[in-house]
Structure 1
Amino acid sequence: MSLSSKLNELEELTSNAKQIQDNLLEEILKVNANTEYLRRFLHGSSDKELFQKKVPVVSYEDVRPYIERVANGEPSDVISGEPITNFLISSGTTGGKQKIFPVNDRYFENFAFIYALRSSIVSKHIDGVKEGGKSITFLNMGLLSATPFGLPIASAVTNFLMSDSFKKWSSKRYASPDEVMFCADSKQSMYCHLLCALVRREEVVSVSVPFASALVQAIKFLETHWKELCNNIRSGHVSEWITDLGCRESVSAILGGSNQELADLIEHECSQKSWEGIITRLWPNVKSIQCIVTGQMSQYIPTLEFYSNKLPLISLSYSSSETFFGVNVNPLCKPQDVSYTFLPNLSYFEFQPVDSRNNDEILDLVNVKLGCFYEVLVTNRFGLYRYRMGDILQVTGFYNAAPQFRFVSRKNIVLSIQMEATTEEDVVMALNHARLVLESSGLVLMGFTCYSNVSSVPGHYVLYWELKTKTPNGIVKLDNKVMVECCRVVEESFNVIYKKFRSKSDSIGALEIRVVQQGTFDSLMEYFVSNGASPSQYKTPLSVNSPEVLAILEEKCVARFFSDKIPPILVDEGNNDGSQDAANRRKSN
């Protein structure tokens, strides 16, 4: 489809948002009203008013039993009037735990639609991108498992790579061949992505990755491997440790033989003392970086600006395992000003006002009000009805009749480095466990706060602790063994998503506890009170990111301790309810 036709489709969708939303809900209800789940509330009806009156707002725990029944082999019509063919596994960003969501080919059609629309929007705003240039991407096949019934379980990207929609997708726009994306070994895939990108450096016009953290990791990988990459280019041969046959053959063809001049150029740039602007130095024709830099990913903006000479950082779309929401129609705006225009053909959207006194007040997509904050509810084609996402959004404007939203936060999440999500409950539980270690050594935790430190790669969690002795006026003596044990206990208390990222040396670093002087949290309260906080209602913030607050804490820091072990992943945490065993059995058969 041409650039103009895609942009015309955007205009049509946003101009007729109300009618398209109403039609979509009617279609969803006609197909799904007789499912076991909806029949309890609608008795076969597809009436919108009855749907809004009778169908409850739900969380994942409410619908999990129905999803698991289908995953375990019961018919799709437990929750969906259309056959369920795949399950998407979430990253865990909404609630700190991975979830599985049922989908079919329609989801991947929407995936392709969103990506094509994104490309058209970028081409409209950035000259040169539409002229056959290539994009660096770091997509690769992730872990693939199966339900006990044999349906695939994987991330959205992995499922898309396996779908018919991807077979129709013009992947020649990428600097890497399909075989590199199909590689399940993330290290081999990353190496080959970079090797192809360097060989094709003059053709590359953009960098496109799902999240900002992934690009920071890729740069760190390049810092470690650039000499070896140069040797490959100089010799014309791929390193022997690249054993994936698809990668080896396809990348060797792109390498094409020895290129001494290119190897010397890359070596010259990478051997400089500073890597400031390394992206534009290695890829001089890159015009933008396309990745999510909103929400928790905003912490990586300064790092990417340093590496890219402040190239445009474009958050193109807003999506999740549950559904796609919309696109950024103003891609050249500042990262902190990104808003997403919701598209009415993707799912049926409703919005519950944040902190509303009337818990029953729920608005349709076109009835939200400028400046107000909402939690978004999703009704999709695959078995989610009035599903509470946990995402808090603010209305920033309208594009034709479709509202535009700024992502504000996820509920209850206080720490995140990658796509893991550590909630207030996670932190409090971990501290309660660590308190037992402290008490056994005669110490008491008097105050704490924390933050996600991404000033170095990999980032890591930092906890600031103010301690005192159990005895009045006692002197706090810090035992290294005890404090390191506290670090370990905290990490072991966190959810499995954190532990999986922590097990990878380049994803999340060892947790750190920084002990501060007694009285530090009094100083913190004085700071907040001096800036308008009420002394009678003041609460120490559970997490902080303000440079001023961090400066106060750093000035009072007296000791630092790090976890010395990677937290173990217990069998019942990481076995996906036996789905991996099922996948292994299918493979052996």
Structure 2
Amino acid sequence: MLPRYDPNDNEAGMKLLEDLTTNAHQVQQQVLEKILTQNVHTEYLSSFLNGHSNKKLFKEKVPVVNYEDIKPYIERIANGEPSEIISAQPITELLTSSGTSGGQPKMMPSTAEDLDRKTFFYNILMPVMNKYVDGLDQGKAMHLLFIKPEIITPSGLMARPVLTSYYKSNNFRNRPFNRFNVYTSPDEAILCPDNKQSMYCQLLCGLVQRDEVLRVGAVFASAFLRAIKCLEDYWRELCSNIRTGHVSDWITNPSCRNAVSLILSKPNSDLADLIEQECGSKSWEGIIKRVWPRTKYIEVIVTGSMAQYIPTLEFYSGGLPLVSTMYASSECYLGINFKPLSKPSDVSYTLLPNMAYFEFLHVEKNHEQVSEEIQCNTTISDKNCTQKEYKKEIMELVDLVDVKLGHYYELVITTFTGLYRYRVGDILMVTGFHNNAPQFRFVHRRNVVLSIDTDKTNEDDLFNAVTQAKRLLKPLGFLLTEYTSYVDTSSIPGHYVLFWELKMKGNNDLPELDHAIMEQCCSIVEDSLDYVYRRCRKKDNSIGPLEIRVVKHGTFDALMDFCVSQGSSVNQYKTPRCIKSEEAINILDARVVGRFFSKNVPFWESFRM
């Protein structure tokens, strides 16, 4: 399933991709056959297939599942039971997903072979880039890569985010020389557990090697913009380091400090003066191209929730293309972008048929309307409203090569690592085909309403957090009559904004607001959100303090009037719990009478079993 080829041979790489996509159906059948043959005697599959590896029986008997269905099996492995519960191959670690279950991150099984699959995936990206961009082997990539917290489960297995797993693996650290993947950041800076030190040092290395940088980026757009914010905050100190040839004293991680010192090596006043001139200018428009003049493109994921950062990236980029090369998840690496220089709004991913076995839950009717109803026009009065509406749309399960152009689907995967007919939760639209392999546009995550970085807050999460916070107001005679939310990315890092309409019991008068109490409400909301949000706030510093904006009486009536004027039905109108329309946000902002921010960093600790 993992064909071998020389990663430096672009022609061989492209031929391999052409073979995989041309023979997509045959490859998919081989993948399913191998998965079933290897794992048919696991406890999980045996309960449905009774020892038979027949593919038809698999489709008839093995159910489509959510995380809650498989969570008990994974927890048993985390607590010390053998991998054979779900996988014939030894489970070597658990990958923590950015999605959550009961406030804790989901854990996905992984094997040693899975690291080889990821390495294959990363290597196969470069032949596509080299087809569109010349000379990438003549310089380096300033890719800003970071690790996140990890724990040891009772079984001794590590549980950590998928990228942390890969960067700490021998596959990454002992990677063979590939002239297309030479980074400005030393591994010691990437693996530094202090994200602030890591960010500073990787920027410093990128500045010192500016003349060699041909491409810049990070995995997510949000992380790259945090790097730009770091440059804005520290450019004077960075220039001082370059001028003196000495790394700042607050960089205390020994491995990181030593590796960066080797790259800094000697004072360079000319380079420091040049960077000071650019960073000290009045406007930072086009700063990427000015500081790293040989850069050909910015490589960041700008699809899904990351699309909100496109305008800011375009401001800083100086006209450089924004390139989204890959589509991946904690469960499985999935697909690549065969047209990497396309506009962000036109990005589509082709699923590689040898990565997993893919099936699709067909979502009927115009899904853009469905998703809008799900995300913005439901109330929490019926807690299961979203799931009920969604289930009505599911009509059929189809194979990879049988999806239809223009139709919407939810992705279902069967992996080599122990997931069988698992609903990933991603909604995709078919935009075309590369040979016989379909291409998909990522639409959104099912049920997610707020996301800034790797956080994914759904409507239930938001409702429960607001419910906890408004209890503080009840003894004071205040009532929360309506609320909605949006993600404010006008500053870096972005932050959640809640609009609250309040009144006193018995009348519509706006109560006099106590700053301390409202700030405490902000903190309670944050403390009530899930593990990933709290980690992003406290540990990663990738989300700013939550804000509550109190609006005057009648504001949500004005919002309803606007929505009705845009085509919503008066009879079916429900207050949107997440606002994406700029006009709607302006209506709310124009009626704000008080703004309050969380003063405390939310409680966070590594999750426990």
Partner in structure 1 of residue 188 of structure 2: 179
Residue 184 of structure 1 and its aligned partner are, at CA, apart by 2.3
Amino acid of the structure 2 residue aligned with 1:509: G
For the residue of structure 2 that corresponds to 1:437, the secondary structure is coil
Q: Would you say how many aligned residue pairs link Structure 1 and Structure 2?
A: 573
Partner in structure 1 of residue 112 of structure 2: 105
1:228 equivalent in alignment to 2:260: no
1:263 equivalent in alignment to 2:272: yes
1:66 equivalent in alignment to 2:101: no
Partner in structure 2 of residue 193 of structure 1: 202
1:149 equivalent in alignment to 2:155: yes
**Greater CA deviation, 108-117 or 363-372?**
108-117
1:471 equivalent in alignment to 2:506: yes
Partner in structure 2 of residue 86 of structure 1: 93
Whole-Å separation in 2 of the counterparts to 1:109 and 1:527: 53
The C-alpha deviation readout for 1:364-410, integer Å capped at 9, x for no partner, is: 01111111111111100111000011111111111111111111111
Whole-Å separation in 2 of the counterparts to 1:325 and 1:94: 23
Partner in structure 2 of residue 361 of structure 1: 396
For the residue of structure 1 that corresponds to 2:163, the secondary structure is helix
**Structure-2 change in CA distance of 1:20 and 1:444 (3 Å):** same
Matches for 1:370-449 after TM superposition, within 5 Å: 370-449=405-484
**Structure-2 change in CA distance of 1:479 and 1:254 (3 Å):** closer
Contact 2:501 2:551 in 1 (8 A): yes
**Structure-2 change in CA distance of 1:404 and 1:474 (3 Å):** same
For the residue of structure 2 that corresponds to 1:92, the secondary structure is strand
Residue 132 of structure 1 and its aligned partner are, at CA, apart by 2.7
Within the candidate set 101, 126, 138, 1:119 is matched to 126
1:57 equivalent in alignment to 2:67: no
Whole-Å separation in 2 of the counterparts to 1:8 and 1:467: 63
Contact 1:304 1:310 in 2 (8 A): no
Contact 2:104 2:607 in 1 (8 A): no
Partner in structure 2 of residue 499 of structure 1: 534
For the residue of structure 1 that corresponds to 2:496, the secondary structure is strand
Partner in structure 1 of residue 295 of structure 2: 286
Residue 55 of structure 1 and its aligned partner are, at CA, apart by 0.4
Amino acid of the structure 2 residue aligned with 1:511: L
Partner in structure 1 of residue 524 of structure 2: 489
The C-alpha deviation readout for 1:120-172, integer Å capped at 9, x for no partner, is: 1111111222x331001222343343222222222222222233322134376
1:133 equivalent in alignment to 2:139: yes
Whole-Å separation in 1 of the counterparts to 2:580 and 2:336: 28
**Greater CA deviation, 176-185 or 547-556?**
176-185
1:6 equivalent in alignment to 2:13: yes
Within the candidate set 284, 298, 310, 2:307 is matched to 298
1:47 equivalent in alignment to 2:54: yes
Matches for 1:161-172 after TM superposition, within 5 Å: 161-166=167-172, 167-170=174-177
**Greater CA deviation, 209-218 or 175-184?**
175-184
Residue 272 of structure 1 and its aligned partner are, at CA, apart by 1.4
Whole-Å separation in 2 of the counterparts to 1:203 and 1:494: 43
Q: TM-score, normalised by structure 1?
A: 0.94
Residue 462 of structure 1 and its aligned partner are, at CA, apart by 0.7
**Structure-2 change in CA distance of 1:200 and 1:432 (3 Å):** same
Contact 2:503 2:511 in 1 (8 A): yes
Residue 256 of structure 1 and its aligned partner are, at CA, apart by 2.2
**Greater CA deviation, 107-116 or 467-476?**
467-476
Matches for 1:480-559 after TM superposition, within 5 Å: 480-504=515-539, 506-559=541-594
Matches for 1:11-26 after TM superposition, within 5 Å: 11-26=18-33
Amino acid of the structure 1 residue aligned with 2:44: Y
Partner in structure 1 of residue 377 of structure 2: none
Whole-Å separation in 2 of the counterparts to 1:332 and 1:67: 40
**Greater CA deviation, 432-441 or 298-307?**
432-441
Contact 2:96 2:108 in 1 (8 A): yes
Whole-Å separation in 1 of the counterparts to 2:313 and 2:102: 27
Contact 2:432 2:439 in 1 (8 A): yes
For the residue of structure 2 that corresponds to 1:110, the secondary structure is helix
Amino acid of the structure 2 residue aligned with 1:491: E
Amino acid of the structure 2 residue aligned with 1:453: D
Partner in structure 1 of residue 608 of structure 2: 576
Whole-Å separation in 2 of the counterparts to 1:474 and 1:306: 43
Q: TM-score, normalised by structure 2?
A: 0.91
Contact 2:465 2:528 in 1 (8 A): yes
Contact 1:230 1:266 in 2 (8 A): yes
The C-alpha deviation readout for 1:90-145, integer Å capped at 9, x for no partner, is: 2237997412211112211121122112111111111222x331001222343343
Contact 2:104 2:530 in 1 (8 A): yes
The C-alpha deviation readout for 1:190-248, integer Å capped at 9, x for no partner, is: 12211111111010000131100100111111112211111111111222222333222
Whole-Å separation in 2 of the counterparts to 1:436 and 1:248: 48
**Greater CA deviation, 48-57 or 484-493?**
484-493
**Structure 2: unaligned runs, 5 residues or longer:** 1-5, 365-390
For the residue of structure 2 that corresponds to 1:24, the secondary structure is helix
Amino acid of the structure 1 residue aligned with 2:161: S
**Structure-2 change in CA distance of 1:119 and 1:482 (3 Å):** same
Name the Cα RMSD after superposition: 1.8
Whole-Å separation in 2 of the counterparts to 1:286 and 1:293: 18
Residue 360 of structure 1 and its aligned partner are, at CA, apart by 6.4
**Structure-2 change in CA distance of 1:505 and 1:250 (3 Å):** closer
Contact 1:217 1:506 in 2 (8 A): no
Residue 520 of structure 1 and its aligned partner are, at CA, apart by 1.4
Amino acid of the structure 1 residue aligned with 2:431: T
The C-alpha deviation readout for 1:455-475, integer Å capped at 9, x for no partner, is: 001211111111222113545
1:566 equivalent in alignment to 2:601: yes
Contact 1:237 1:252 in 2 (8 A): yes
Amino acid of the structure 2 residue aligned with 1:407: F
Whole-Å separation in 1 of the counterparts to 2:165 and 2:510: 58
**Structure-2 change in CA distance of 1:370 and 1:97 (3 Å):** farther
Residue 505 of structure 1 and its aligned partner are, at CA, apart by 7.9
Contact 1:324 1:346 in 2 (8 A): yes
Identity across the alignment (%): 51
Amino acid of the structure 1 residue aligned with 2:165: N
Whole-Å separation in 1 of the counterparts to 2:393 and 2:460: 26
Partner in structure 2 of residue 158 of structure 1: 164
Whole-Å separation in 1 of the counterparts to 2:183 and 2:569: 54
Amino acid of the structure 2 residue aligned with 1:271: G
